[in-house]
Chains A and B, each alone.
Chain A
Amino acid sequence: MKINLKINGVWKEVEIDPSDYLLDVLRREGYLSVKKGCDTGTCGACTVLRDGYPILSCATLASTCDGHEITTAEGIADEMEDYIKILAEEGAEQCGFCSPALLVMLYALKKEIENGKVKKTKEDIRRYLVGNLCRCTGYVGQERAIFRYLGVE
């Protein structure tokens, strides 16, 4: 079947199988920042935005996204330049496999803080990001960078 997705601002017609999950479709279409870390909706490496909200692309059927807007790390990296710089300065991307999804989450988190849905506290921010597993850093370095970027004391 054919579906239409607005990926990173551009409408695209994509040929899919009804069994395809969004993750596989996006990777096939060349959005390789979207990673498959587990396939059970647990690691968060496949996070993308649908209509502005973060979702697990491995756990969302592609067909159900027909007509919706999808944003991947490729689409927001330039806007997130400051954060990228801080994360690199802290040395907090190690293998980097979890990094693009974290970038997407941070983009969403910033918006949620702005519209008052998430409080700008360490506890609330950690909770917001809990679905993004990282095996390398132990999270502490990531959070040093994230708190610095968001200006959380």
Chain B
Amino acid sequence: MPLKILDYVRPSSLEQAYDLLQEDGAEILGGTTYARLSDRTIKLAIDLQNVGIGAIYEVGDYIVVGAMATLANMQFHDLIMKYADGYLYDVISYIWSVQLRNVATVGGTVVPKWGFSDFITGLLALDTEVEFYKAGKMKLEDYLKGPMIKKDIMTALYIKKTPRKASFKFMRNSEYDFSVVNVAVSAVKDGDKFTDWRVAVGARPGVAALSYKAMEVLNSSVDDEAIEKAAEEMKNELKFASDFRWSGEYRKEVAGALLKRAVKEVIG
């Protein structure tokens, strides 16, 4: 049975939207692509297209991406294309289809913490913060680890323009599919040294998480042995589970291989 919506509003300010959201049975609409797939009733659907949180711009050291920006808006934005050699452009370009990316929003993708998400994994390897209207700003990893934030509106992503080199790797059987598992890795290039490694693994099939142990290993060395060790540490640290399509054991092994490839790509 499809989604049922009893009433629809398009408020013109965040404040108004937030107030409406407090009503019983009220929910935010993003691009409405994924909401579609659930069988439930929304009493009041709140469309954010007129509240002015769709823009992408720069503030100080940050690229700010409004929650109502579509994945395609973000993909093709100059700031995104230029940052980290267009790393996020690449991450987004592999998400499903052009037609989906033209509708699916940044907020609709980050807020629900989809486990399968390539986008979240990609962001997690950067210095990313999420901003909510009431709850304010928090690190993406804290948001992902914490409870779902209900009855609040995500307003923007803040991506710090740390001079990072990043690499995103995924494994899919069909190219037009969800990832079996995905890995994003980045590091700050400091002369010929790499520091502040970030290693994110998603679609395990749980939502993306950082492997602190792998990061620690890489922060001390990136020779072949260290890379091998980082992969092993990550495999032990993070949980991999089975779903009806792929086994946890398989995901784990593939994640290890992808991690090594990603690190090697970053160090060039």
Contact = CB atoms under 8 A, between A and B. Distances in A.
Interface of A: 1, 17-19, 21, 40-41, 44, 47, 50, 53-56, 58-61, 63-64, 66, 105, 108, 117, 127-128, 130-133
Interface string B1-20: 01111111010000000000
B255 interface: no
Interface string B169-180: 000000110000
Contact of A61 (B5, B93, B99): B5
B8 A131 contact: no
B33 interface: yes
B37 A19 contact: no
Contacts of A40: 36-37
Nearest to B72: A53
Contact of B33 (A18, A60, A132): A60
B227 interface: no
Interface in B130-156: none
Nearest to B47: A64
Given A40-B36, A44-B99, A54-B99, 13 more contacts: A1-B8, A41-B100, A50-B102, A54-B102, A55-B99, A60-B33, A61-B5, A61-B32, A61-B45, A63-B47, A105-B99, A128-B98, A131-B176
24 contacts: A18-B5, A18-B6, A18-B45, A19-B5, A21-B36, A40-B37, A53-B72, A54-B98, A54-B102, A55-B103, A56-B99, A60-B33, A60-B103, A61-B5, A61-B32, A61-B45, A63-B8, A63-B45, A64-B47, A108-B98, A127-B93, A130-B97, A131-B97, A131-B176
Given A59-B36, A63-B47, A117 B96 contact: no
Interface residues of B, number: 29
Which of B72, B93, B99 lies at the interface centre, i.e. has the most chain A CB atoms within 10 A of its CB?
Answer: B99
A63 B3 CA distance: 14
Which of B5, B97, B103 lies at the interface centre, i.e. has the most chain A CB atoms within 10 A of its CB?
Answer: B97
B31 interface: yes
A133 to B, nearest CB: 8
Contacts of B6: 18
A149 to B, nearest CB: 18
A61 B105 CA distance: 14
Nearest to A128: B98
B29 interface: yes
Nearest to A131: B97
A60 B97 contact: no
Interface in B45-62: 45, 47, 49
A129 to B, nearest CB: 8
A105 to B, nearest CB: 8
B83 interface: no
